[in-house]
């Protein structure tokens, strides 16, 4: 993959709407922030927030700081944004975690609740870490969750139902993996690279975890703010083509010192 400069990547993120003026509308963002603050666990992604985030405005403040959405309380509908500078800064932080994993030849687990968008980002990262000497965790066979199956495709754990890969925010598939590893007496991952409830569940259980998150998915950003999750990368997690993420992946792997492994 061709490795973009920081400036070129920012231009690409804005042009493809991975960041900048994203497709997720402001009203959807605010609705999710409100539901998280009201205790709707669907939006907690397997994390435990207690009564720490019961004010929608506090959630919005974190999202403005870490994702780049508008901090204007009066802006209720229409366009919202992800700051591409924050996206690239978070990729740099994630790259530092990946570099450490490669240096330590860590056991790494990859998982995605957004197979239509992020599967290949995770696959390429897993392949690069494996080439660098890491063990990519193989999940147990026969795992089930949420009336479906949990299995691996291209070294990435995914959720399947009805012979179709599903988009899911649920933490249950990751819980099934971690519980399954424990039942088999196998070590847990040193690092989890994921998104949605897969990342939230791993972080809540005390594992080192990094993840990708959209502007309407505040839980991982709150977890990063609290120190539960190591890194949350802000981006639109399902743009028009999964190929649009290729420059982002190339930048991430180069920053992690893994470009030669990709």
In this prediction, residues 180-209 reach a mean pLDDT of: 98
When pLDDT is cut at 50, 70 and 90, the band that residue 247 belongs to is very high
Q: What's the start-to-end Cα distance of the chain, in Å?
A: 8
For 132-154, what is each residue's pLDDT tens digit? Answer: 999 999 999 999 999 999 999 99
pLDDT at residue 262 above 80? Answer: no
Average pLDDT across the chain, whole number = 97
pLDDT > 70: percent of the chain: 98
In this prediction, residues 215-234 reach a mean pLDDT of: 98
The dihedral over CA atoms of 90, 42, 157, 98, expressed in degrees to the nearest 10, equals 20
> How far are the Cα atoms of 44, 84, 193, 210, 214 from residue 201, in angstroms, in the given order?
10, 27, 12, 11, 17
Element housing 211 (H / E): strand 209-213
The pLDDT assigned to 25 comes to 97
pLDDT at residue 103 above 70? Answer: yes
Q: What is the pTM of this model?
A: 0.97
CA distance 86 to 91: 9
Q: Is there a contact between 237 and 117 (Cβ–Cβ < 8 Å)?
A: yes
The pLDDT assigned to 47 comes to 98
pLDDT at residue 7 above 70? Answer: yes
CA distance 92 to 215: 19
For 20-44, what is each residue's pLDDT tens digit? Answer: 999 999 999 999 999 999 999 999 9
In this prediction, residues 242-250 reach a mean pLDDT of: 98
The pLDDT assigned to 261 comes to 65
Q: Residue 249's Cα: distance from chain center in Å?
A: 13
Element housing 26 (H / E): helix 26-37
pLDDT > 90: percent of the chain: 97
DSSP E strand boundaries for 10-126: 20-21, 81-82, 107-110
In this prediction, residues 106-121 reach a mean pLDDT of: 97
In this prediction, residues 217-242 reach a mean pLDDT of: 97
pLDDT at residue 122 above 90? Answer: yes
Q: Which token pair is 224? A: 């990063």
């Amino acid at each position: 993959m061709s490795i973009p400069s920081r400036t070129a990547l920012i231009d690409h993120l804005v042009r493809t709407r991975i960041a900048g003026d994203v497709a997720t509308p402001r009203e959807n963002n605010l609705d999710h922030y409100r539901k998280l603050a009201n205790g709707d666990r669907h939006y907690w992604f397997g994390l435990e927030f207690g009564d720490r985030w019961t004010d929608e405005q506090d959630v919005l403040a974190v999202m403005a700081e870490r994702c780049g959405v508008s901090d204007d309380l009066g802006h209720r509908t229409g366009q919202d944004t992800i700051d591409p500078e924050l996206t690239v800064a978070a990729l740099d932080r994630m790259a530092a975690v990946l570099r450490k994993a490669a240096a330590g030849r860590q056991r790494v687990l990859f998982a995605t609740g957004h197979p239509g968008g992020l599967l290949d980002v995770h696959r390429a990262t897993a392949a690069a870490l494996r080439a660098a000497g890491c063990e990519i965790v193989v999940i147990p066979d026969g795992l089930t969750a949420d009336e479906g199956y949990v299995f691996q495709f291209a070294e990435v754990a995914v959720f399947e139902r009805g012979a179709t890969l599903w988009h899911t925010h649920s933490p249950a598939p990751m819980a099934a993996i971690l519980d399954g590893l424990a039942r088999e007496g196998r070590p847990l991952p040193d690092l989890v690279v994921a998104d949605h409830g897969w990342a939230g569940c791993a972080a809540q259980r005390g594992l080192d975890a990094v993840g990708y998150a959209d502007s309407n998915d505040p839980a991982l950003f709150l977890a990063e703010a609290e120190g539960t999750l190591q890194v949350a990368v802000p981006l639109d997690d399902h743009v028009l083509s999964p190929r649009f993420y290729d420059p982002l992946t190339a930048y991430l792997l180069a920053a992690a010192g893994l470009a030669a492994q990709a």
